[in-house]
Chain A
Amino acid sequence: MLTSSPSMMSHYVPPELINSILPRLPVKALICFLCVSKEWSALINGSNFIKKQLNHSIETNSDRTLILKETYINPPLQSRFFFVSYSDNDQFGKAVQIYQPLHNWDILDFCHGLVCLLFHKDESSWTRIYKLEPGAVPWNIDYFKPLLFSKNGKKVLMEEVNLFWYDIEKKRGKKVKNQSFPKRFRTATCMGSLLLLDGNNVIDLK
């Protein structure tokens, strides 16, 4: 029945539908809704949900966020992290300091809403951020840069000196082997487009 009831009225929505509504929400709202109930908390913290939410944000180019890390010229102070939302009309929101979750982490790099963190000692995690488990790869972690998701969303391509796939479920990295790559390189991801930044077409018809 259609009801024009006051907002006080409760509505039963089956779990499978809740499951397809919540991933459409931005991270900020989801962090609030973690304390709605234990059931919601378990749902939102689930790895399937996190992936679904991230994929939705990427597909719709929504919930864009910048994370700022304060830097000091004189190192003794601990640097703070800030969260800046970036709205649909390209306006920057107010920078809010993020407390606990990133306390003992360093940002290595991020792309597409995917943040790569270097683990120090805190075990807390944060929706939308993938952390690299210590020992994920046999070699030394100095600098990782996430580049893109695999088609099935289960792996992330990372750049170190070479490229490697990081399996989100197995929490393990595997080197990409390709003879045709140059020996040393740096990588950037881009979307296919026929338009240059200066507004000219890549293909010159003249």
Chain B
Amino acid sequence: MSNTSENPNPSSSSAKITLKTSDNELFEVEEAVAMKFCTVKQYFEDEKDNDVAARGSSTVIPLPNVHSAVLARLISYCKKLPQSNAVADNHEEEETKKKERKQYGTPGDLVDLISAANYLDFKEGLEFFNQALADHIQNKSVEYVRKFFGIKGDFEPHEEEKYREEYAWAFEGVDED
């Protein structure tokens, strides 16, 4: 019996995958991180099927819809992900989470992060940034929300006024900005 000359499969934990963003920046990330992005995972698996051996880091996966600044934040969030996705079981934890959700930039940044997480099919990220944006708008005025999402109010002024009178209690204590 001849010796197996070489092991073509080095320890998979150190495997790196290169991602290329819309502004042509290259990101070399650990496989475990990249596999959180289902879009990347799918691409990688398809690629593997086509190729005899996994080409590992020599494969560059293009992400034409993601800007480098957004990808960098998604990766940094990904690395902080806890092993278990346990639900906060006391309010202290919930408070910490709320603070944590505020750390990922301006509300506008959140929209970019949500779109990218959606494109990458990155579930935990989408969940997290959706909640962060919900936290942000929950106490905002109707005017703010319209401006933020670029929506034009299309109710007749008298309809809207009547509605606001009827549900005045819901409009109490809303932020001014």
To the question of whether A and B form a pair in one complex, the answer is yes
Chain A residues packing against B (C-beta within 8 Å): 1-5, 7-14, 17-18, 20-22, 24-26, 28-29, 31-41, 59-60, 83, 88-90, 96-100
Q: How far is the CB of B133 from chain A (nearest CB, A)?
A: 6
Chain B residues packing against A (C-beta within 8 Å): 67, 69-70, 73, 87, 91, 94-95, 105-109, 111-112, 114-115, 118, 126, 130-131, 133-134, 137-139, 141-142, 144-155, 160, 163-164, 166-172, 174, 177
Decide: A17 and B70 in contact? CB cutoff 8 A. no
Residues on B with C-beta less than 8 A from A2 are: 67, 69-70, 73, 105, 108-109, 112
Decide: B134 and A24 in contact? CB cutoff 8 A. yes
Partner of B174, one of A3, A4, A32: A32
Residues on B with C-beta less than 8 A from A5 are: 106, 108
Residues on A with C-beta less than 8 A from B134 are: 21-22, 24-25
Partner of B149, one of A11, A41, A83: A11
Q: How far is the CB of A27 from chain B (nearest CB, A)?
A: 8
What is the CA–CA distance of A141 and B95 in the complex, to the nearest angstrom? 43
Decide: A35 and B153 in contact? CB cutoff 8 A. yes
What is the CA–CA distance of A150 and B118 in the complex, to the nearest angstrom? 30
What is the CA–CA distance of A1 and B68 in the complex, to the nearest angstrom? 9
What is the CA–CA distance of A12 and B126 in the complex, to the nearest angstrom? 16
Residues on A with C-beta less than 8 A from B118 are: 17
What is the CA–CA distance of A60 and B138 in the complex, to the nearest angstrom? 16
Q: How far is the CB of B177 from chain A (nearest CB, A)?
A: 7
Q: How far is the CB of B38 from chain A (nearest CB, A)?
A: 16
Q: How far is the CB of B42 from chain A (nearest CB, A)?
A: 19
Given contacts A17-B114, A99-B166, contact A7 B144 (CB under 8 A): yes
Given contacts A17-B118, A36-B153, contact A25 B170 (CB under 8 A): no
What is the CA–CA distance of A21 and B164 in the complex, to the nearest angstrom? 23
A-B pairs, 6 with minimum CB distance: A10-B150, A24-B134, A31-B170, A96-B169, A11-B111, A2-B69
Given contacts A35-B160, A37-B153, contact A25 B167 (CB under 8 A): no
Partner of B148, one of A7, A25, A34, A59: A7
Decide: B151 and A40 in contact? CB cutoff 8 A. yes
Residues on A with C-beta less than 8 A from B174 are: 32
